[in-house]
Structure formats: C-alpha cells, structure tokens
C-alpha cells in the first residue's frame, strides 16, 4: 500500500456533502463509531478524519485525480474528480479500515479505486469484515491484536463469527501460527492459507 489512494472514475457526482454523508454512514455501520469522526482543515478546508489517536486513523478529502500529464512540462493535462486518501500510517487494523472505506465509497458512487503504488484502476470488491480480513491475511494478525489491546473500543469490530488465525502442524508435532505463505512443491508456487484450506496439517482456529 502506497501513500495515496483514490476513488475516481465515478458515475455519480463527487461532492463533499455526499462524501461526508457516506463516510458518516460507514463510520456508524461498519466502524461502529469506534473511531472519532472529525472535519478539519488539511489538504482542503474540509478534510475528513476517522481517528483513534494522532498516529492511527483514516484521512480523506475531495480532490482531483491527474489521469494524464504533460510530461515535457510536468504539469497536469487532464484531471477528474476524486476522493483522495492519505494512508500508510500504522498497519493491520488501519489497512483493513482504509481498504473497506475506499471500496465502500467506490461501490456507492459507482467508481473505481486507484492506489499510487501502481496507478491501475480496479473495480470495488465486496465488503470484508475484520474477522474475514484476519483469516485472509494471517500475517497481520499480531499487528491487529496489538491495536485491539491498545484501543479496547475497536473490539466491537470483530464479526459475530469471531476472528481467528491459521496454524500448521510442525515437524515437532505441535501447532504453530502461520506467518508466511506455504510453498507447493508440485506447482512451485506460494499459496495463501485460504488457498491451502483445512487439512490434517493445517487448520483455522477461532480466538
């Protein structure tokens, strides 16, 4: 994840009022009001912040996305309305919340999500609960747990099924938490825990 991301190429108009309305709905329904909702001056005079403290939070505002440059002059040739996100702070929980809000706004405004790590427009994906995120990306489990311990109010974000983690049975016969991809000697590929699935040597454990 790079420093900025954009919700753009939207079929519906992007206005501050609409972005504020949708973000507040996301804050209430998805984040369960566990973050503080703030409107402040920043990149514009109406930036939106969803924060836990000075370091952990989401930051977005209405801006313009440059989709074509005058390379000889290093000046924008064509821009389109967008919602810009400043991210990269912290990890785990913040990355989940950031991605969920980006994709939520893109779905509601019928747009696409662009991360400046590659600049490729992507259609929004379906929503993913925090528990599903931890199951999909087990390497973030410890980071998220640190944030849950630091900010007890965010434990409400765990879905009813509960969060958990993947484990593998080691050569010592004991179960260990998975932190790295699994190597498949047949295909010579690295597989995620989801791709490996439940086996006698690999299991998903509820916390």
Residues 85 and 13 in one domain: yes
Residues 56 and 122 in one domain: yes
Residues 51 and 34 in one domain: yes
* pLDDT greater than 60 at residue 38: yes
The pTM assigned to this predicted structure is 0.74
Domain end point (choices 127, 152, 173): 127
Residues 79 and 142 in one domain: no
Task: List, for residues 121-141, the tens digit of each pLDDT value.
Answer: 999 999 988 888 877 776 676
Judged by DSSP in three states, 174 sits in: coil
Residues 12 and 74 in one domain: yes
Domain end point (choices 127, 162, 185): 127
Segment 61-66 long-range contacts (CB within 8 Å, at least 24 positions apart): 62/14, 62/15, 62/16, 62/19, 63/6, 65/6, 65/8, 65/114
Residues 133 and 123 in one domain: no
* Closest-CA residue to 16 (of 79, 82, 110, 112): 82
* Closest-CA residue to 106 (of 203, 26, 188): 26
Token pair in block for residue 146: 């640190």
For the chain, the domain total comes to 2
Query: CB-side exposure of 3: number of CA atoms within 13 Å?
Result: 0
What confidence score (pLDDT) does residue 1 get?
47
Residue 81: domain span: 4-127
Token pair in block for residue 139: 């390497």
| pLDDT mean across residues, the chain | 84
Residues 18 and 103 in one domain: yes
């Amino acid at each position: 994840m790079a420093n900025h991301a954009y919700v753009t190429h939207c079929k519906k108009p992007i206005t501050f009022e609409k972005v504020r309305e949708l973000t507040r709905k996301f804050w209430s329904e998805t984040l369960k009001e566990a973050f503080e909702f703030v409107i402040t001056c920043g990149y514009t005079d109406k930036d939106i912040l969803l924060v836990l403290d000075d370091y952990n939070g989401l930051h977005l505002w209405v801006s313009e996305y440059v989709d074509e440059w005058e390379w000889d002059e290093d000046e924008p040739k064509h821009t389109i309305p967008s919602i810009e996100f400043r991210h990269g702070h912290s990890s785990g929980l913040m990355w989940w919340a950031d991605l969920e809000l980006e994709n939520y706004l893109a779905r509601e405004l019928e747009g696409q999500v662009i991360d400046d790590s590659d600049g490729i427009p992507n259609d929004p994906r379906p929503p993913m609960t925090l528990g599903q995120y931890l199951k999909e990306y087990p390497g973030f489990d410890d980071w998220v747990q640190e944030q849950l311990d630091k900010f007890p109010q965010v434990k409400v974000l765990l879905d009813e099924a509960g969060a958990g983690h993947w484990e593998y049975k080691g050569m010592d016969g004991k179960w260990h938490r998975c932190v790295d991809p699994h190597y498949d000697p047949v295909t010579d590929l690295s597989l995620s825990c989801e791709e490996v699935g439940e086996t006698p040597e690999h299991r998903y454990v509820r916390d």
